[in-house]
Amino acid sequence: MVVGGTAEEFHSGAPYHETDLDVCGWLRAGEAEVLRNVGFRRRGRHWVHAASKVAVEFPEARIDGDEARIERIGVSRGTAAIIGVDDLYLDRLRQATAPWRPDASVEFHSALAVAAGAFDRLDRRYVLRRIREIEGSDPPLGRRMRALDSRILRRVRRELGP
């Protein structure tokens, strides 16, 4: 399933200049060999295809969210699974509030882009419920996420107008 910057560009419509393609899932037995056979080589946490300059990362086995919200889109003769817009927004919000991230402003703009680009599709009840759940398990993170969400929401509403 596609997550990260590629999913952000899909949901927000804003250009995103990916450095890699983030995919949730682990490689099963034999799949690493398939990647090698088509020209990918393992470099640290990435699988890199030198000829096409594509890097693929498998950051997690599953998304941190509701898998029922995963979107499937037709691609050629198959389908691609993309993290749902609500969970992508929550992920960007979480990353923008992480105190250890020196590039939090980049993540703030990512959360803002998703909120603005998908404003009419965001399920605010779901987003607020997930933030409340995070507040219950990690109060400082949940409070930062709630505050940033309010700031983003005000800014998007102001820009979109009445």
For 52-88, what is each residue's pLDDT tens digit? 777 776 666 666 777 788 788 887 787 877 788 898 8
In three-state secondary structure terms, 94 is helix
**14/67: higher pLDDT:** 67
- The token pair at 54 is 């594509």
CA-only gyration radius of the chain, Å: 17
74-127 tens-digit pLDDT: 877 878 777 888 988 998 898 888 766 555 566 788 888 889 888 999 999 999
Q: What does the pLDDT read at residue 99?
A: 66
Q: What does the pLDDT read at residue 7?
A: 60
Distance CA 149, CA 152 (A): 5
Cβ-contact 46, 55 below 8 angstroms:
yes
Predicted TM-score (pTM) of the model is 0.70
Q: What does the pLDDT read at residue 35?
A: 75
Q: What does the pLDDT read at residue 143?
A: 94
> Which residues, including other chains, have CB under 8 Å from residue 58's CB and lie 6 or more apart?
22, 23, 24, 25, 26, 27
* Mean pLDDT estimate for the chain: 78
Q: What does the pLDDT read at residue 51?
A: 75
Angle, vertex CA 64, rays to CA 105 and CA 103, nearest 5: 15
Total number of residues shown for the chain: 162
Angle, vertex CA 81, rays to CA 75 and CA 83, nearest 5: 135
pLDDT at 3 over 90: no
